[in-house]
Amino acid sequence: MKSTLAGALVALVALIAVAGQGAIAQDRQGPVVVELFTSQGCSACPPADALLGELAMRDDVIALALHVDYWDYIGWQDTFGSAQMTERQHGYAHAVGSTVVYTPQIIVGGQDHVVGVRPMAVADLIQAHRATPDPVSVALTREGGTVALDVQAHMPPPRPAMIVQLVTYSPHEEVRIERGERAGSVSNHYNVVTSWQIVGEWDGAMPFSARIDPQSDRPLVVIVQQAGHGPILGAARLD
C-alpha cells in the first residue's frame, strides 16, 4: 500500500511539474511578428495586402506592412513609401547573403522568408513559431501619458547583442491610386508602419526597462531582435 501511495505521489508531482512548465511556456509565448514588404505601385501586392489584413485581426500575430520606395519611379509614389523600410528589407537580404529585394515579401519572426502570396506557408510558419516559448518576454503598460517597457531574457546573452525597437502603425488606410500600373484602383492597407526607431541596444544580462513618451496616439509595438537583422526574440503590442 505504501509503495502504491508513494508511486501515486511521485506521479502527481510529475504532473504538477509538467503543468507548471506548460504555464511558463504559455506565459512566455508572445505574438509572432509578420512583416510584409509591399508597395502601392506593385501590381502583384494587393492579395498580400489583403492577407496581412486578415492576419491583423489575430491576437497571436503582430502583422506589419512596411512600404518600400523603390517602385515609386514607375508612375505612382507610394503615399507610405519609406527609404527606411527599403533599408530594412535590404538588411534582411544581406543577412542571408543576398542583394535582391522584391515585393511582395513576407518575413515571419525575423528569419523565415516567403516569396509572394502563400497563405498556407505563412500559416505553417506562424504555427511553428508559436510552438516554442519566446527567448525574451516583453511587457508594455501605460502609466499616465507614458508607456513603461520591461524586457527580460530567458536565455544566455546572445552574440551579437539585441536591438530593442519601437514601432507605430496605422490600423487601416484606403488610398485611390491615380497613376501607374494600378491607376483608377482603390488600395486598402492594414497596420501600415508609420515610424520605426531604436530604443536601445541590450546584451540580455540584466532586465531592460525604459519609459517611452509616445509622439502619437497610434498603436505601438516593441520588437526585440538580434542585431544584424537576426531572429525576432520577443514582441508585444499596445493598442
The closest alpha carbon to 231, from 123, 116, 140, 107, belongs to 107
Say if CB 48 and CB 151 are below 8 A apart.
no
**What pLDDT score does 239 carry?**
87
Q: Is the pLDDT of residue 183 over 80?
A: yes
200-206: long-range contacts, CB 8 A cutoff, minimum separation 24: 200/164, 201/161, 201/162, 201/163, 201/164, 201/227, 202/151, 202/161, 202/162, 202/163, 202/164, 203/157, 203/161, 203/162, 204/136, 204/153, 204/155, 204/156, 204/157, 204/158, 204/161, 204/162, 205/153, 205/157
Q: What is the pLDDT of residues 193-235, one digit of tens each?
A: 999 999 999 999 999 999 999 888 899 999 999 999 999 999 9
Q: What is the pLDDT of residues 74-107, one digit of tens each?
A: 889 999 999 999 999 999 999 999 999 999 999 9
**What pLDDT score does 204 carry?**
93
Q: What is the pLDDT of residues 98-134, one digit of tens each?
A: 999 999 999 999 999 999 999 999 999 999 999 999 9
Q: Worst-scoring range by mean pLDDT, 55-59, 90-94, 97-101, 158-162?
A: 158-162
Domains of the chain: 31-238 (2.60.40.10)
The residue among 19 and 55 whose pLDDT is bigger is 55
